[in-house]
């Protein structure tokens, strides 16, 4: 049981992230312990800003609007705070703002829980070390463990049953020329969230058995690609990893296909661009939108194929 150190704290920020080697499948659904390690890039200034303050009642505000107390999002946020203050703790106001372009259809639970964890740490004066922050953020949402850091981040699956070694660590590597393009296909809310999607895949897809092997091999190749600044190896590995993850969901029952016709059309456009000498790759998460990977020198050429994409420079 903890008490606030002050009436309010300054807002804290955590970036969103995109995995090059995906987190897909849990060995413990309560603690969000993954079956495989994953590796991501944080999205610099795109993410979530969160502030906690003393209040008469628990209240969650999202992008300037009060969220209904019975709303799933509000309940998840309050339940997470309860882990630290206890259910009888004094009420708090949570103000959280995403600057992630909603048009890009990027998930916000990673940056959301990472920012909430940092806000809780400040508000209650917990002074947790980065590894604890990452482990606790993971309990809110697995991918949030990676959003505590900028740049390349590896979430090590860990082996302990209590999960305290299932934490993310930053890689000591910069890649200034790296670019991520956000290609919007649809922003409609998905019918199956990634949490149920991955559980269904683990439970019903025999094909899932191949996933941990694929992920382990890809993680190795990504480390090598980053160390060597080998963009071809980075892009090929990320694209194959994403498609392998999607293959396991398609093989689940009931089947899970997050792709829309526009997603497939965009894939073909990317393969056509590559055939025409433009080095661009893609990755996709539990949704229909694509995230393109290319380098600064190819940006103009990629824009020729995807004039509407938004470009992020993850290393500033
Ligand atoms: C990832 N995804 O590595 C993968 C790829 C989606 C596809 O992490 O249940 O919202 O809260 O731990 O973190 C999204 O899963 O799931 C995700 P929970 P989370 O980015």
Cβ(67)–Cβ(61) below 8 Å: yes
Q: Which atom of ligand 1 is nearest to the CA of 142?
A: 12
Q: What is the pLDDT of residue 7?
A: 81
Nearest to 139 by CA among 86, 79, 192, 95: 79
Nearest to 293 by CA among 245, 235, 237, 243: 235
* Separation CA 14–CA 31 (nearest Å): 21
- Alpha carbon of 218 to ligand 1 centroid (Å): 17
How many residues are given for the chain?
316
Q: Which atom of ligand 1 is nearest to the CA of 193?
A: 10
3-state helix, strand, coil in the chain (%, to 5): 40, 25, 35
Regions of the chain with pLDDT less than 70: 1, 101-105, 107
- Alpha carbon of 258 to ligand 1 centroid (Å): 14
Token couple for 160: 């302990």
Strand runs (DSSP E) across the chain, as ranges?
12-21, 26-28, 33-34, 38-54, 59-62, 65-67, 92-98, 152-155, 168-170, 178-183, 281-284, 290-295, 310-312
Task: Give how far Cα 178 sits from Cα of 39, 91, 220, 229, Å.
Answer: 15, 43, 19, 10
Whether the model clears a pTM of 0.90, i.e. scores above it, the answer is yes
Q: What is the pLDDT of residue 105?
A: 57
* Separation CA 200–CA 198 (nearest Å): 5
* Separation CA 246–CA 84 (nearest Å): 36
Cβ(8)–Cβ(54) below 8 Å: yes
Q: What is the pLDDT of residue 146?
A: 98
- Alpha carbon of 272 to ligand 1 centroid (Å): 29
* Separation CA 76–CA 273 (nearest Å): 42
- Alpha carbon of 197 to ligand 1 centroid (Å): 10
Q: Which residues line ligand 1 (CB under 6 A)?
A: 19, 22-24, 32, 38, 109-110, 141-143, 194-195, 285-286
Query: Mutual orientation of helices 130-140 and 109-123 as an angle, nearest 10°?
Result: 130
Residue nearest ligand 1's atom 8 by CA = 143
Residue nearest ligand 1's atom 12 by CA = 142
Site to substitute for ligand 1 among 76, 143, 215, most atoms within 8 A of C-beta: 143
ipTM over cut 0.90: yes
Q: Which atom of ligand 1 is nearest to the CA of 138?
A: 12
Q: What is the pLDDT of residue 101?
A: 65
**Which residue bears the tokens 């660590």?**
169
- Alpha carbon of 93 to ligand 1 centroid (Å): 26
Q: Which atom of ligand 1 is nearest to the CA of 141?
A: 11
- What is the tens place of the pLDDT at every residue in 173-210? 999 999 999 999 988 877 898 999 999 999 999 999 99
- Alpha carbon of 6 to ligand 1 centroid (Å): 33
- Alpha carbon of 192 to ligand 1 centroid (Å): 12
* Separation CA 286–CA 205 (nearest Å): 16
- Alpha carbon of 195 to ligand 1 centroid (Å): 7
Site to substitute for ligand 1 among 32, 40, 105, 109, most atoms within 8 A of C-beta: 109
Beta-bridge partner residues of 34: 26
* Separation CA 100–CA 240 (nearest Å): 26
Nearest to 40 by CA among 164, 178, 160: 178
């Amino acid at each position: 049981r903890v008490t606030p150190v002050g009436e309010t704290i300054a807002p804290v920020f955590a970036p969103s992230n995109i995995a090059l080697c995906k987190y897909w499948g849990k060995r413990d659904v309560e603690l969000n312990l993954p079956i495989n390690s994953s590796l991501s890039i944080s999205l610099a200034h795109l993410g979530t800003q969160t502030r906690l303050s003393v209040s008469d009642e628990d209240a969650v505000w999202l992008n300037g609007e009060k969220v209904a107390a019975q709303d799933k999002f509000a309940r998840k946020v309050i339940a997470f705070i309860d882990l630290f203050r206890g259910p009888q703790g004094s009420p708090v106001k949570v103000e959280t703002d995403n600057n992630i372009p909603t048009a890009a259809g990027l998930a916000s639970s990673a940056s959301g829980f990472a920012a909430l964890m940092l806000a809780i740490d400040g508000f209650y004066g917990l002074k947790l070390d980065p590894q604890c922050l990452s482990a606790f953020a993971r309990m809110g949402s697995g991918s949030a463990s990676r959003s505590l850091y900028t740049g390349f981040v590896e979430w090590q699956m860990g082996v302990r049953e209590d999960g305290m070694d299932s934490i993310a660590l930053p890689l000591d590597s910069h890649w200034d020329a790296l670019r991520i393009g956000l290609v919007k296909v649809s922003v409609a809310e998905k019918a199956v969230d990634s949490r149920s999607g991955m559980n269904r895949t683990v439970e019903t897809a025999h094909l899932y058995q191949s996933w941990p092997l694929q992920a382990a091999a890809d993680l190795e190749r990504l480390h090598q690609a980053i160390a060597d600044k080998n963009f071809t190896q980075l892009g090929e590995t990320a694209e194959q990893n994403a498609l392998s993850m999607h293959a396991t969901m398609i093989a689940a029952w009931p089947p899970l296909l997050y792709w829309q016709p526009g997603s497939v059309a965009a894939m073909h456009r990317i393969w056509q661009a590559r055939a025409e000498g433009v080095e661009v790759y893609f990755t996709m998460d539990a949704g229909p939108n694509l995230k393109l990977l290319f380098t600064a020198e190819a940006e103009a050429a990629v824009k020729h194929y995807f004039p509407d994409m938004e470009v992020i420079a993850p290393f500033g």
